[in-house]
Amino acid sequence: MSIEASTTFTAMHPDILSGMFTGEHGPDKGGCYLYGRHFNPTVYNLSRQLAALEGTEAAYCTASGMAAISGTLLQLCNSGDHIVSSNTVYGGTYALLHDFLPAKSGITSTLVDINDLEAVEAAMTEKTQVLYAESISNPTLRVADIPALAEIAHRHGAKLVIDNTFSPLILSPKQLGADIVVHSMTTFRESYAPTRNSFST
């Protein structure tokens, strides 16, 4: 398909505008696209392809990997909630978990050796909403036991979020028990592939 670069779109009937702004009338529900920052035909098609790749019901493209990660964590957690995370994660993710979220949102994190399942289990609390890991960590290349982490997360009522940036073509975390998969597709491009956006599923 052609690349759509529009930032705004024309609604042909003003009576559907209110439904477009509330999300009731999207392009596949009798409305049309609204703003490029939400999505446009190109990004919408990309998200559908990524959902098919991951075996998820939906995917959402963002401007960067950190936008996908922070948007996911802020959706799942409220002030006072807790995250258990691998201590070998991308530097931006570490800063988000260790510095930004506690100071700005009151969301705390415990960073553990993700390969020590006893340490992961011990870090889980009644306030833990998310267990977070990278399938293959950046840059230390430690491999997470996703099925075991899924079992721990779900037993505690938490969501397992897996960053699959380093292995999207060889590993499908959703099929191994992850609830949400995030990728930094721009990072993947720098190392391995043609230009793409970033997304979360």
Q: Which residue has the higher pLDDT, 35 or 24?
A: 24
Going 104 to 129 to 171 to 55, the CA torsion angle's sign is negative
Q: Which residue has the higher pLDDT, 48 or 8?
A: 48
Q: Above 50 in pLDDT, residue 191?
A: no
pLDDT of residue 42: 82
Map out the domains of the chain as residue ranges: 58-200
Q: Which among 147, 150, 172, 148 has a CA at the least distance from the CA of 160?
A: 150
Q: Which fold has domain 58-200?
A: Aspartate Aminotransferase; domain 2 (3.40.640)
Average pLDDT, the chain: 86
Q: Rounded to whole angstroms, how far apart are CA atoms 118 and 146?
A: 15
pLDDT in tens, 174-187: 999 999 999 887 66
Task: Label residue 79 by pLDDT band (50, 70, 90).
Answer: very high
Q: Above 90 in pLDDT, residue 128?
A: yes
